Amino acid sequence: MGLLQKAVETYDAMEHLAGVFEDKKEPLAPIGHICTKATIEITVDRNGDFVQAQKVDQKIIIPVTEKSANRSGTSVRPHPLCDQLDYLCGSNEAKKTAYLKQLEEWVDWSSEKAYEKLKPIMTYVANGTMVNDLTKTGLLKFNENGTIKNTRDVICWRVVGVGDGDTAVWTDRELYKNHIDRYFQKINNGMTQISMISGKRGPMAALHMKGVYAPASSAKIISSNDSTNFTYRGRFLNVEEALTIGYVDSQKAHNALKWIVANQGVSIGKRVFVCWNPQGQEVPMPAFPIINYNEQKRKPTEYKSDLYKTILGYKQSLPERADVVTASFEAATPKSGRLAVTYYNELQGSDFLDRLQYWDETCCWYDSQWGTSSPLIRNIIKFAFGVQRGNEESSKVEVDEKIMGQFFQRIMVCRIEKAAIPIDIVRALIQRTHNPLAYNRKNRKQLQFIACAVIRKYKLDRFKEEWDMALEPEKRDRSYQYGRLLAVLEKAERDTYDNDEKREPNAIRMQSVFVQRPGYATKIIVDQIKSAYYPRLKPGQRVYYEKLIGEIMQMISETGDESYNKPLDETYILGYYLQKNLFYTKKTEAEEEVK
């Protein structure tokens, strides 16, 4: 099935929530309605007399027609009830006339249904006192020439003295049904076709909704109003031959997508990502790790156990064969054009959860400060392709929004589809790690942590190699041992620094050279440390570092003299990080020996 079919399935399963307002959530709009933000609330009595008005800032549900939901520019297409000031206060006579004519038709139709909240609103708007009433309450703003400035403010209504329920019309479920019944009767003129979404026969949608997500308020997934620029000409005689979607199916699909994006969407760069189960079961968002590393500090074995338990919890509430849908959207321009579905995937719940678990198990790393965790996809992209702005300790790494959205999707697809991590992203991270002076210490540590997690996954994906997250001093890998040596040389020099020393050690300043010519750089760094810093170390520290350096050099020498000065590969980062991690872990054997 496709995106729109799954959206309709979601609406049908969640229809009991249509029109229900929940705290901090956008409501699911019924058929023939949309959610919008109201800015002014006007209360009238049963006779259509003004009671009060106040400024508001809240999401409401309003009835719409196909044309009014798609209006733009200077077109005159009024909403049936709640609308902008421009349509209600008379500043544009054509718009007000069209509004009153449409509302009068609804009032006449509703009088047969004994629905009484519409007539007072029509009476009040027709009386023409709105401008004076809102001016007295201070809710109108005027330009220098005396014209109304805030004509785009949306008015919502309350009617007092009619019925015993809520006075707000935007929460009135009876009004929802009244509008749906009337509008469906109006468009159901006997011209029916089979909808390609549901396979059911009914009236077709002439226009499809825009604004699936707010940053692309006017972009559409489906557009069929271009009959002059060869959208379908040459293939079909008319748009119906290209695609037929029923009005009800279109409304259900678009309102469901709007609801999902508003409440569960994650905006990354210029794209928005959603993941949901059509039956409403909770599923983890693949944009984030299953376990938040801020929750607690975990050792690798604890992390794996907690990850398994968390996935098991999801599996117990999510039926094995239940579908999980993942999609992403991007608009070419924010206010018009097409809304592209840049990614779409359907998986059974058990497969989906297993794949998320596999990624988080294989793309993770241990840090003595944070514990074991899987890095955020956003941070992988940020440190692979971003730039640190400024040299202060508070400076952050920033990346272009377009780059963020594109690469984020690539990695998220790897996570969902159990694919190998892209080599260009791995190489970008490795290259950035070679130049530590481009980052402050906080960002540098985070970059190294992310690089280690990604390299570990890369080695497993490409070469089926498993790399331990604990230091392996006997590891028969030349680059790994050189990474250990770099960490030892850095720590030996740092041990002579005062607490407020901000100068970087020679090992860090020469790291880019060290990666390309490790033998040459090692000799320079060791000579500098022995001449300038060894005399400032305690005797026990000198002995400890001499012994450790000797052991590492012995391991390196066993690889053969011909490879002594050859450039290092990415595993040096793992050796460096783990050796440094060991130094800064409290109560380690290394610390005891130094004492």
Q: Categorize the per-residue pLDDT at 334 as very low, low, confident or very high, splitting at 50, 70 and 90.
A: low
C-alpha to C-alpha distance for 313 and 315, rounded to whole angstroms: 5
Higher-pLDDT residue of 216 and 12 is: 12
> DSSP assignment of 468-486, as one string?
-SS--TT---HHHHHHHHH
Write down the mean pLDDT value for the chain: 90
Chain segment 528-579, per-residue pLDDT in tens:
999 999 999 999 999 999 999 999 999 998 877 667 789 999 999 999 999 9
CA dihedral 367, 369, 370, 374 (to 10 degrees): -20
Residue 295: what pLDDT?
58
Residue 18 near residue 29, CB atoms below 8 Å: yes
**What average pLDDT does the segment 152-166 reach?**
89
Chain segment 458-468, per-residue pLDDT in tens:
999 999 999 99
CA angle 265, 266, 272 (to 5 degrees): 80
Sequence ranges of the domains in the chain: 1-16+190-254, 31-187, 471-595
C-alpha to C-alpha distance for 220 and 233, rounded to whole angstroms: 20
Chain segment 174-183, per-residue pLDDT in tens:
999 999 999 9
Residue 595 has pLDDT above 50, yes or no: no
Give counts: helices (H), strands (E), the chain: 22, 13
Helical (H) or strand (E) element with 452: helix 441-463
Residue 206 near residue 65, CB atoms below 8 Å: no
> DSSP assignment of 63-125, as one string?
E--HHHHT--TT-----SSS-BHHHHSSSSHHHHHHHHHHHHHHHHHHHTTT--SHHHHHHHH
Chain segment 409-434, per-residue pLDDT in tens:
999 999 999 999 999 999 999 999 99
Residue 500: what pLDDT?
85
Which residues in 327-354 are b (16+ Cβ under 10 Å) and which e? bbbbbeeeeeeebeeebebbbebbebbe
Residue 577: what pLDDT?
97
Residue 588 has pLDDT above 50, yes or no: no
Rounded to 10 deg, the angle between the 441-463 and 349-362 helix axes is 120
C-alpha to C-alpha distance for 584 and 587, rounded to whole angstroms: 9
Chain segment 352-363, per-residue pLDDT in tens:
999 999 999 999
Residue type, 391: N
What's the pTM value of the predicted model, to 2 decimals?
Answer: 0.90
Helical (H) or strand (E) element with 254: helix 247-264
Residue 497: what pLDDT?
94
Helical (H) or strand (E) element with 457: helix 441-463
Chain segment 46-92, per-residue pLDDT in tens:
999 999 999 999 999 999 999 999 887 778 999 999 999 999 998 88
The residue among 223, 215, 251, 256 whose CA lies nearest residue 63 is: 251
CA 264 to mean position of chain CA atoms: 9
Residue 227: what pLDDT?
59
Residue 150 near residue 62, CB atoms below 8 Å: no
